[in-house]
């Protein structure tokens, strides 16, 4: 008679364990916790990489009013960069490339190759 009573205790212990673990999980998941640092969504990330620029290709689309710039470099991890500027004049394009890449206007003029589309 002792053996059947032992079997009846096991399901009761299982139910008690299940209920206690459910309550503990609910408390842990629903309790408030403070964050160490808050996220800022309106900031831009600025990354600085050392690269040697090989060529800069600028395709000016006069009809649409923007210039697409593709920068080829020697870094094996980052072989090319692409930018789009809302300007179509050569001087403005060179200034935008200069500012974006951190180069002087003279260096940009040596590297840039233009293609003008008048579709």
pLDDT in tens, 69-110: 999 888 777 778 899 999 999 999 999 999 988 889 999 998
Question: If you average pLDDT over every residue of the chain, what do you get?
Answer: 83
The set of residues, in sequence order, having a beta carbon less than 8 Å from that of 1 and lying 6+ positions away, is none
- What's the confidence (pLDDT) of residue 38? 64
Q: Vertex 115, ends 112 and 116: CA angle to 5°?
A: 130
Strand pairing report for 66-73 and 112-117:
unpaired
What is the spatial distance between Cα 70 and Cα 113, in angstroms, rounded to a whole number? 10
């Amino acid at each position: 008679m002792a053996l059947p009573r032992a079997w009846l205790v096991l399901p009761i212990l299982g139910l008690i364990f299940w209920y206690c673990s459910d309550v503990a999980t609910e408390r842990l998941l629903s309790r408030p916790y403070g964050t160490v640092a808050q996220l800022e969504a309106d900031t831009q990330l600025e990354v600085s990489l050392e690269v040697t620029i090989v060529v800069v290709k600028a395709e000016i689309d006069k009809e649409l009013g923007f210039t697409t710039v593709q920068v080829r470099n020697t870094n094996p991890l980052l072989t090319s960069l692409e930018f789009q500027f809302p300007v179509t004049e050569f001087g403005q394009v060179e200034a935008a490339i200069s500012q974006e890449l951190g180069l002087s206007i003279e260096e940009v003029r040596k590297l840039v190759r233009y293609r003008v589309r008048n579709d």
